[in-house]
Structures are given as structure tokens and as C-alpha cells.
Amino acid sequence: MQGAPLTDEIAISLSQLIDDSQATNRRDPSHSDLDFIVQKAELWDVDPKNQGRNVGKAKRIRAVLYWALENDIKKGEKLVKSVVSVVKASGGFRENSVNYTGREQIENLMQAFKSTGYILTIDGEIQPVILDSLSEKEMSEALHTYIRRAKQGIEDAALVAGTGKDLMEAVAAYIVLKKMGSYPTQANFPTLLGQAFMMVGAATPHDKIDNNLSEPAIKRFERALYELACSINKLRNKEGTGHGRPFLSNLTKEEALSAIESIGLVAEYLLNKLELNN
């Protein structure tokens, strides 16, 4: 994982993790430590310190993360991971360390991560959450976070961490599970996807077109989305993703990017249809 998820809640909680304004003594990481990781994330140009503003560490990181949230999520996610790493290396997650950030601050950040499909452990490790362990609300929030990241072309969003499923399959399974109480774990992808489409009232190529009736134009769009999702599934790297690529190695970076963004498009349409129908 090249970065860690970035949301409004994570930006706020993470900045509080390095805020030493209430501490008797200064805590690491230092401003110079932050200089290094902000530059490494290629966000130095928007750093308030680089702009000559005298701000504390919390306000500084929060300002950079908010800019990234609106303008370059990939760089922001890289910075999130780096901030957690440098806090951990400084002893910020150890209660007996002079740089300990505080139980409340850590727990706030842990909660912020939970709804993104990842968890932050009490000792500062970022790990994929098992989606089946989440509540229905948390599951929906996590899938929406993956969708947002996929639509922005973030490669690791194409695979739902910790599940072995790609995002489209995870969304389809969630829809069928929510509607039926269970889903066929042995069903192939086109079948599972078709069931999800049917359950939200979306058309697939298996739905016959009655030429004698005037069909809503959206139905043609939905059939195209189904075909798009199936075509992307065929591009999945069935050999495994150990090299960090969720797609066949003969795809160009631009082709893979388009496939990831398309996964986000289809998944978002289905999830929104589900929520509108409930």
C-alpha cells in the first residue's frame, strides 16, 4: 500500500496526533521531520511553512492534507501514511515514551480509519479491515471510500484489501447479502453481478428488449455498465497481485487507470441505486 486513506475525519484526527500545543515539552516529530515527509509526498509547495507562515505542526499538516483532499488525493494519502510512520518511529504510540501522543488522540484516529476499509492498531500499524466484521453502516461507508478512491484512479482501491475480491465483486456481494441475507459464494462473477443488478432494478443484457414498447433510455446505459464491469473483471490478474498490480501485466498504466476509474463508476451506480430503493 503506497498510501493510507485520506478523509476529512482522518485529516483532523491525524493533525491532532502531532499537536504538542498542550504539552509541557515539545514532542517529536519535529518540524524538520515534517519537512522531509511533506517534500517526499511532493506537497512542499502548498505547505504553510514553505509559504513563510508561522503555524504549529497540527495546523500545518491539516492545511496540507485539506489541500490534497481537494486537489491531489494520491499525494495526500502518501503523506497520511508517512505521518503515521514518523509518529510511530518517534514513539508516539508507546505510553512510556516522552513523545506519546495520548490515548484519546490515538483512538480518534483509529475510529476515523475504521470506516475506510482499513484499521489503525493501537501500536500504529495500518492494516486492512475484514469487511465482514463491520456493521452494515460501516460496511457501506467503507465501500463508498473505496469507490471514491477508485474514481480518482488510486490503484489499490481496485482490490478490497483483506477480502481477495475486487471492488465490483465486493459491492455486488454486499447488495445481494443485504437483499437476500446471504449470497452464493461459489457463483461466478457475471452471475453475482447480474443478481446485484436485478436486485436494485437495473437492466442487464439478459433482459429482453421489447421492440413494441418504449423502454427508458437509462436501461441501455445500465446494460452497458454490466458489460463494462464484466470486461474489467476479465482484465483481473488471476495470477495474483504480489507486484502491486490488480490487472494483467500487459496493460499499460493508462489502460489500468481507466479500468480502475470504471470500476468506481459501476460500483457507485449500483450502491446509489440500492440506497435510493431502501
* Tens-digit pLDDT profile for residues 147-165: 888 887 777 666 665 455 6
**Within this chain, do residues 119 and 152 fall inside the same structural domain, yes or no?**
no
154 and 217 share one domain: yes
Question: Is residue 84 within 8 Å of residue 127, measured between CB atoms?
Answer: no
**Which is more confidently placed, 157 or 146?**
146
Query: What's the domain count of the chain?
Result: 2
CA distance 171 to 160: 10
- Contact by Cβ (8 Å): 142, 134: yes
Band of pLDDT at residue 122, cut at 50, 70 and 90: very high
Bridge partners (DSSP) listed for residue 128: 118
The residue out of 108, 128, 148 marking a domain boundary is 128
Residues 253 and 145 in one domain: yes
**Same domain flag for 104 and 138:** no
Beta strands in 112-180 (DSSP E): 118-120, 126-128
Length, in residues, of the chain: 278
Residue holding cell 463508498?
144
* Structural domain includes residue 84: yes
Would you state the pLDDT for residue 19? 80
Which of 110, 128, 146 delimits the end of a domain? 128
Residues 154 and 99 in one domain: no
> Looking at the structure, do residues 70 and 142 belong to the same domain, yes or no?
no
Verify that 111 and 152 share a domain, yes or no. no
- Whether residue 207 is contained in a domain is answered as yes
Which pLDDT score, from 0 to 100, does residue 143 have?
87
Indicate the SS3 state at residue 126: strand
Higher pLDDT, 35 or 257: 35
Give the model's confidence band at 241: pLDDT under 50 very low, under 70 low, under 90 confident, else very high: very low
Of 95, 128, 161, which residue sits at a domain end? 128
Same domain, yes or no: 186 and 243: yes
Q: Is the pLDDT of residue 244 over 70?
A: no
Report yes or no on 1 lying in a domain.
Answer: no
| Beta-carbon contacts of residue 235 (< 8 Å; ≥ 6 apart) | 247, 248, 251, 259
Considering the domain boundaries, does residue 67 fall inside one? Answer: yes
Ranges 76-90, 161-175, 222-236, most confident: 76-90
Q: Is the pLDDT of residue 121 over 50?
A: yes
Same domain as 145, residue 43: no
- Asked if omega into 5 is within 30° of 0 (cis), the reply is no
60 lies in the same domain as 166: no
Is residue 248 a part of any domain in this protein? yes
77 and 119 share one domain: yes
Note whether residue 3 is domain-resident.
no
**77 within domain boundaries:** yes
Sequence letter at residue 274: L
User: What pLDDT does 44 receive?
Assistant: 95
Helices (H), 49-166: 57-71, 73-89, 103-114, 136-151
pLDDT (0 to 100) of residue 243: 43
Amino acid letter at 241?
Answer: T
Domain membership of residue 2 (yes or no) is: no
140 and 230 fall within a common domain: yes
Range of the domain at 211: 133-277
